[in-house]
Structure 1
């Protein structure tokens, strides 16, 4: 339910932001370039709206903080939190001979991060006795109501009402105190109002993740600093990608230029392309062991087929009229390759390189499952076993940030090395 609400909030903010920018910002701007008809391939093609990018990032941060009760987010945007504090409810029991009696259950609900505490209350008079229960917020608890009653379930007693509302073995009722059901053995299952905020064990607030970054950067994790973990992951990704590019690009050129090479290698490439790198882990372990070589080879295989296909597509997409024009001017085959085919195929190759780098970053977590002692993936997997969600989230964010930074650098390199991209 919370996940659906978060999605709806995100969609609503997107729609509102779009309308505001569309009808307010653009109506007052004097940038007439934005009003040009889009012609893909030149400088007037669709470009990222920076306002939309900023609003998107801020929106994600606000939603994250709102549904985790973050102190970094203003309180008025916080989603309703779970009930914490003291509450109580009255249950009614009925014995086999028709006697009824009421008793009160006093509940202390500990907020996130607080310890539950045991306490005692006056049991009162009658066959049903008062009870005291401590429990954490946003959870359910089973209350053995008859552990101190004079007549127990073994004697035929059963709960017939909660706060005056009738309840049966198959039913569920809702009162101001919370939600109630009866277990198969007749005990009371109680859930206080959970609100919409998520527990830190599922999604910690932003400040918890940042504090983990500071802590691990200074003190380390599993005998290695944060810089060392990220450095190992970055080394593996770059090494695997470079080996994949060194073999994949010439293979793609060969497939794009020779029908024999294309016929020979296309079945292999098209067969391996849809195979996820994760499926290759057992085979990589059997063939290359659990050392560093196996991890790099797995990343090499993740990038190889992408680079081969992008290079082949780049060669196949070269405008044949340019080749004919070069031949008519007396160009040799080497000159055709050097001045026509390679320059015109580079845009596709750079696009494939960006995709391959992203796939390698996505695969490095799995690659570091293979007996790694350092790496961001190792941190994530070890932390997940101990339900340290803040470390898991920290690792995911850092991998994403580094991957995004690499993508930006590759775009800058493409703009510098291939300024003719999109031009005839």
Structure 2
């Protein structure tokens, strides 16, 4: 018990803290160690901002639930599914594959009674039809079939590997060319004057607009695809490296020179470490842009790859397969971004700490 003039207020404050600590959902607001943070200032402190796994999982659950609810068929009788299964069982594999979308759509099949004699009466309520967005179950079935049987003569893993290898090559050369040019532009007025018109003229051009030219210049082989991805990544890396150099605090540079450091030592120990956060941010942005450009890159005479799968499935209106390939691209992109975050924490632990 606290005695004195302010004893009653202090006691109430302690009781309020105890009640707050016993809230059933207090764990949602605690830090990584399970204890509330004791920092006085958190807003604006980059070291205090990190991903919360529980909120990420909750967000994904909400997205999947909304997807399921909006695409679920409400009120479709079981007789319809039984009839569709019987019809599919009597068809060959190719015929069944071709009739699948028709059998799934109650209204379209009901409009052709001569084609489906004995069709049971069907009525249903559905927010989004399959012609707009397949359900999660249909996309899962398409992904499972893709993994077991492949598509267009290639297995799923071959499609994944070809797409990933193309992206990795284009991204590698984009970083290898873009980072030195960006550093040079940030460190030298002469080099900035030389490269600035080139960067500012070519950077706004979307890679999709150059597909015909890349076909003429590099053909329809792997070289054209890799160069298109390089074009998408190099300007991002140039801007990121240049911004990283310009963001270096000049007092650190002056301090290094006052201690007798040479230009090479200043570049290695001061400029590069302080520019790395911007370079890593540019690399993460370039990964996302390259995945988006990959679909267009695989239009250049490709016979395999996730982008090729999307475009070929579009020709046959296989929306579930298209969405399956899109989700695979998204998963690969997120995996690469998570790997970059982990590398960033390991290589530049000083980020956000001044």
Counterpart for residue 238 of structure 2: 308
Determine the structure 1 residue equivalent to 2:37: 33
**After superposition, where does 1:6-405 map in structure 2 within 5 Å?**
24-25=25-26, 31-33=35-37, 37-44=41-48, 46-69=49-72, 81=74, 114=84, 137-138=106-107, 195-405=125-335
Instruction: Count residues with an aligned counterpart.
Output: 305
Return the structure number with greater helix share: 2
Whether the aligned pair in 2 keeps the contact of 1:111 and 1:136 (CA below 8 Å) is no
SS in 1 for 2:71: coil
Q: Which structure 1 segments of 5+ residues have no match?
A: 1-21, 70-79, 86-108, 118-134, 144-191
C-alpha contact (below 8 Å) 2:284/2:337 kept by paired residues: yes
**Deviation of the 1:220 alpha carbon:** 1.5
How many Å apart are 1:274 and its aligned residue? 2.0
Contact 1:83 1:138 in 2 (8 A): no
Change beyond 3 A, Cα 1:34–1:277: farther
Q: Which position in structure 2 is the counterpart of 1:77? A: none
Q: Return the offset for 1:110.
A: 5.9
- 1:238–1:210 distance in 2 versus 1, CA, 3 Å: same
Structure 2 unaligned blocks of 5 or more: 1-22, 88-103, 113-121
Task: Please state how far the C-alpha of 1:379 moved relative to its aligned partner.
Answer: 0.5
Question: Structure 1 residues 113, 39: closer, same or farther in 2, change over 3 A?
Answer: farther
Aligned-partner SS, 1:33: coil
Pair 343,84 (structure 1): closer, same or farther in 2 beyond 3 Å: same
> CA 1:370–1:112 in structure 2 vs 1: closer, same or farther (change >3 Å)?
farther
Give the TM-score, by structure 1 length.
Answer: 0.66
RMSD across aligned C-alpha pairs, in angstroms?
3.0
Conserved 8 A contact 1:139-1:194: no
Does the Cα contact within 8 Å between 1:112 and 1:137 map onto a contact in 2?
no
